[in-house]
Amino acid sequence: MLKEVKRDDAIFKSEALLRDDIAYSIMFSILNNAEKYKTPKIFSDGKDCAVVNSDPNHAIIVWTADNFQEYGKLYEFIKKEFRANKPFAIWAKNDFYDYLVKNKIIPELKGEQAEDGHEKLQTLGTWSCSKLNDIPYIGHPDQAKPEEVQKVAQMMVNFDVETKEEPHAKMSDDYVRLAQKFVSNPLYFVWRDKDEKLVATATLDKSGEYPRVGRVFTDEDERGKTYAKMLVHYITNEVFKEGKVAMLYTDYDYPSSNRCYQGVGYKLSRTIVKFMPPITGQDYIKLRNYRDCAQNIY
C-alpha cells in the first residue's frame, strides 16, 4: 500500500494535500528543511496517504485524503515500519483516531494520562490569519533583555506545566540556558505593560511556508487584560509585512485561547489529533522536543 518516497514526491504537490497545507505545515517544514531534518522517513501511496517522521523521538505525521478508507491497514503499517513494540505517537486527522476506537483497535484515550501526566489524546485547532481585526494596544511589544533571563525561564517552566508539555517541569539550568537562547533571538517576542513590566511572551517559527506563532503565554496574575491578544496581533502583522499568511496551533479544548486568536482575526482551518496508542511497557513518547524550540525560531 505504501512505499518509501523522496521529499519531492508528487503527492506533496497534489491538490488534495495542499488543501490541508496549513494543518500540516509541520510536515512541510520537515520536507523543506533538509539541513535540519537530514534523514526523515517518508512514505506514500501516491494518491491518498502520506506518512512522515522526522526523528524516532517525534510524532509520526499522517496525512490522509478525506475519502480514505484503509485506516486499519495504515495503522498496521505504521506499527511495523516505525515502532514494532516501542511506544509511538501519531499526528493525524480525527477520522484516523475515530476509526481505530470505533473498531476497537485501540481504546478510547480521551481523558487518559500517561504516568508522567501527559495527555494520551489531544485535539489541536489549526488556525490561519490573512486579515487582522483592529484592536487597541495597551503597552507595547519588545524584545526581552539579558537581565530578564530568569524571568523568561520561569515563564517557560510555567508554560510547560500548564500546557502539560512537561507536566512536572521545574526551574533548572536547562531552562536557563534555553531562556538565554530565546532572549538573544529576534523572533522571541514579549509584551510590556504601560509600566514596562514583561507580562506576555510568544515565539515565531519561520521554518515553514506559513510562519507559525507559538508558546504564547501570559503571567497568571496578568491574565484577562488582553496582553497575549495584543502580542499575537503584533507578531501576525510582522508576518503580513513579509507578504505571508500566519498560522498557529491551539488546544482546541481550551476555549479562552481559541477566542483570543479569533479576536485577532484567526480562522479555524481544521482540527487535528495527537494520540499515543497503548503499547506493552512504556506508553509515552514526547510529541515534540521543546528543547529544540530555540533552534526552530530563526
pLDDT at 113 over 90: no
Name the packing angle between helices 71-78 and 94-102 (round to 10°).
Answer: 100
Q: What amino acid is encoded at 20 in this protein?
A: D
- Segment 205-224, tens digit of pLDDT: 998 889 999 999 999 999 99
CA dist., res. 84 & res. 144, Å (int): 45
Q: What is the pLDDT of residues 262-285, one digit of tens each?
A: 999 999 999 999 999 886 433 333
- Of the pLDDT bands very low, low, confident and very high (cuts 50, 70, 90), residue 166 is confident
**Rounded to an integer, what distance in angstroms lies between the CA atom of residue 68 and that of residue 65?**
5
- In sign, the C-alpha dihedral spanning 287, 289, 294, 298 is negative
User: Angle between the 149-162 and 173-183 helix axes, to the nearest 10 degrees?
Assistant: 110
pLDDT at 279 (0 to 100): 65
Q: Which of 4-8, 246-250, 262-266, 277-281 has the lowest mean pLDDT?
A: 277-281
Q: Give the residue extent of every domain in the chain.
A: 3-120+276-288, 140-270
Asked whether 49 and 13 are in contact (CB, 8 A), the reply is no
pLDDT category, 146, cuts 50, 70, 90?
Answer: very high
Q: Looking at per-residue confidence, does 294 or 155 come out higher?
A: 155
The second-level CATH assignment, the architecture, of 140-270 is 3-Layer(aba) Sandwich (3.40)
